[in-house]
Chain A
Amino acid sequence: MNLRLHIWRQAGPNDMGMLKTYDIANVSEHMSFLEMLDVLNEGLIAKGEIPVAFDHDCREGICGTCGMVINGRPHGPVARTTACQLHMRTFKDGDEIYIEPWRAKAFPVLRDLVVDRGSFDRIIQKGGYVSVNTGNAQDGNATPISKPDADRAMDAAACIGCGACVAACPNSSAMLFTAAKVGHLASLPQGQAERSSRAMEMVLQMDAEGFGSCTNHYECEAACPKGISAEFIAQMNRDFVTSALGGKA
């Protein structure tokens, strides 16, 4: 199939960017979206032009490295799918595709479609850990965890930190990401020691990074490639106010 791509090109963090139009021919419907971009880049390199920069790593939909807004939707039109797992059969011959980077003050563009997601790392550093005893690892079954609790923790831990929630949110809020991390550890006995301070510290770091606040549109939930539920946001809201009123954090 033949496609017309409108891709955000920006040379560096402080440069003005703009959409540039590329026509690409003979795209196979079996290609992934990133493979289609690889083919585009091969052509650009052959012509002596600078290839389009984009983040990618596992290409299996589990690492959270890739991410771009495809036709106004983070990771493209297919629900619960990362850009690397999006296949060109989703599109049809003659389609025009708009490709833009995640847009948020807290995710500055480094180049083209690559953004700096260091703000997520700093949120994790504020509370995405648990206290453990040093020495030998304890017996695997020493701490009983019910199946529903384990499932719930896994639902939250499925977050790959790709940032699609921020990209989809009209306020560039990182509530779903942060709530997934808070909710993951809050569902487990190991996470209880820092539960109160975790919600407070991570929420305040989110503000400090310049993310917006939640207006409950649930665009994040719809865009999340791992289908993380906004119920974790409600849980983080509970933990936050418990911490604020309890004065523990």
Chain B
Amino acid sequence: MKAFGEIWRSNLFQKWLMAITGLLLVLFLLGHLSGNLLVFLGPAHLNEYAHGLRTMGHGAVLWGARLGLLAFFILHVSSAITLSRRNRQARPQKYVKVEARSSTLASRTMLYSGLLLISYVLYHLAHFTWGAVHSQHYAQVSYILPSGEVVPDVYTMVVKSFSEPLIVILYLLSMVMVGLHLNHAISSAFQTMGVTNRRIMPLVRVGGPALSVIIALGFSAVPLAIILGFVKI
């Protein structure tokens, strides 16, 4: 019987780690997206949802989710670094001429799109969670829920932020990066986890990229709708 450490260090186990944590992060993105789209229902819905997230289980749910996400993120990135390093070492001498047949721009640039996403996540947290950048828009305004509770006005913060063209451009570019990364990531994760077989492989190879487009467009809809004036304070 192999020791767990030997299995843990193997390429295939590291790939499993990357795939599972990646898919969990995609599940988070889908939840995040459905919350974001509440902006189209108006301030009451979005602010109540945001307040609900913060107070659910006296904040324990929020912190549990944050710690979980951080763990998935760290495992995802560390396995990516380990595997990329080994993959580079596996071909010390490059070809003079290479003609790709089936790899795509997305699949060949996973490391780079991933690295750009790390910087985006830090910027995004600094913007909406820490209030460290664009702090002039950070929720100083309060909102009174229909229940009478006074909560931070997330809606106004979002609308004010995305009324600045520079911020909108930064977010839209980042969503292109999210779409590019997920374009390869989702179907790739299913393949790595061995879920695919002859019957569902075609579905996975089409469904993964399709879901990546839906996620990227869904997230882009909010800043676009605000800067184009469809969603106002």
Contact = CB atoms under 8 A, between A and B. Distances in A.
B189 to A, nearest CB: 9
Nearest to B189: A216
Contacts of B107: 215-217
B2 A249 contact: yes
Nearest to B198: A231
Nearest to A69: B95
Contact of B90 (A71, A77, A173, A248): A173
Contacts of A193: none
A91 interface: no
A234 B16 CA distance: 11
Given A72-B95, A103-B91, A244-B7, A170 B108 contact: yes
A100 B193 contact: no
B97 A240 contact: no
Interface string A65-88: 000010111000100000000000
A168 interface: yes
A96 to B, nearest CB: 10
A151 to B, nearest CB: 11
A70 B92 CA distance: 19
Contacts of A241: 12-13, 16, 193-194
A221 B198 CA distance: 14
B103 A219 contact: yes
A219 B100 contact: yes
Interface string B122-160: 000000000000000000000000000000000000000
Contacts of A19: 96
Interface residues of A, number: 53
A51 interface: no
A231 B108 CA distance: 20
Contacts of B2: 200, 204, 244, 249
B192 interface: yes
B93 A218 contact: no
B92 A98 contact: no
B191 A234 contact: yes
B95 A213 contact: no
Contacts of B100: 217, 219
B15 interface: yes
Contact of B87 (A171, A203, A234): A171
A182 to B, nearest CB: 11
A36 to B, nearest CB: 18
Of listed A19, A203, A207, residue having the most chain B CB within 10 A:
A207
Nearest to A229: B198
B96 A223 contact: no
Of listed B90, B99, B188, residue having the most chain A CB within 10 A:
B90
Interface in B184-202: 184, 187-188, 191-198, 201
A227 interface: no
A229 B194 CA distance: 13
A168 B101 CA distance: 9
B168 interface: no
A234 B97 contact: no
A247 interface: yes
A113 B4 CA distance: 40
A222 B102 CA distance: 7
A203 B196 contact: no
B93 A222 contact: no
B91 to A, nearest CB: 4
A176 interface: no
B197 A212 contact: no
A52 to B, nearest CB: 16
Contacts of B56: none
A105 interface: yes
A237 B16 CA distance: 8
Nearest to A109: B93
Contacts of B196: 231, 234
A32 B201 CA distance: 36
A215 B103 CA distance: 10
A228 interface: no
Contacts of A106: 90
Given A69-B97, A213-B87, 14 more contacts: A6-B96, A73-B99, A73-B101, A105-B90, A105-B91, A105-B92, A210-B90, A214-B192, A215-B87, A217-B103, A217-B107, A219-B100, A221-B102, A237-B15
5 contacts: A103-B93, A170-B87, A206-B11, A240-B13, A241-B12
